Amino acid sequence: MADIDDATRTELEAAAFRRLVEHLRERTDVQNIDLMNLAGFCRNCLSNWYRDAAEEKGVTLDKDAAREIIYGMPYAEWRARYQTEASPEQQAAFEKNKPQH
């Protein structure tokens, strides 16, 4: 691996994170259950990890605020606009492979 100093690595990681969040905001066709079934995490997981990181730094961030950061809008609004009912196949795959985090 390239010799990267800590500050540069942090900047690169932050840029990659911002790009991931933007990608997920644009791909509203990809449902959270699809992400969970394929990758073992979803937008809600990402918002929980963001909140955990904030709390480690002494920053108070509630669940709704963390979700709005990831979704780019209030979670209830995102659900109303984009969330679809999970198919029986999606639900079965989720139950079979449910992540343990």
Examine the pLDDT at 54 and tell me if it is beyond 70: yes
Predicted confidence at residue 98, as pLDDT, reads: 79
Instruction: Express each pLDDT in 55-101 by its tens digit.
Output: 999 999 999 999 999 999 999 999 999 999 999 999 999 998 876 65
**pTM for the whole structure:** 0.90
Residue 1 falls inside a structural domain = no
Predicted confidence at residue 97, as pLDDT, reads: 82
The domain that holds 10 is classified in CATH as 1.10.3340.10
Residue 42 falls inside a structural domain = yes
Residue 86 falls inside a structural domain = yes
Handedness of CA 53, 69, 76, 35 (dihedral sign): negative
Residue pair 21/46 in contact (Cβ under 8 Å)? The answer is: yes
Q: How many domains does the chain have?
A: 1
Residue 24 falls inside a structural domain = yes
Q: Which structural domain range is residue 30 located in? A: 6-97
Predicted confidence at residue 1, as pLDDT, reads: 62
Instruction: Express each pLDDT in 22-39 by its tens digit.
Output: 999 999 999 999 999 999
Instruction: Express each pLDDT in 4-21 by its tens digit.
Output: 999 999 999 999 999 999
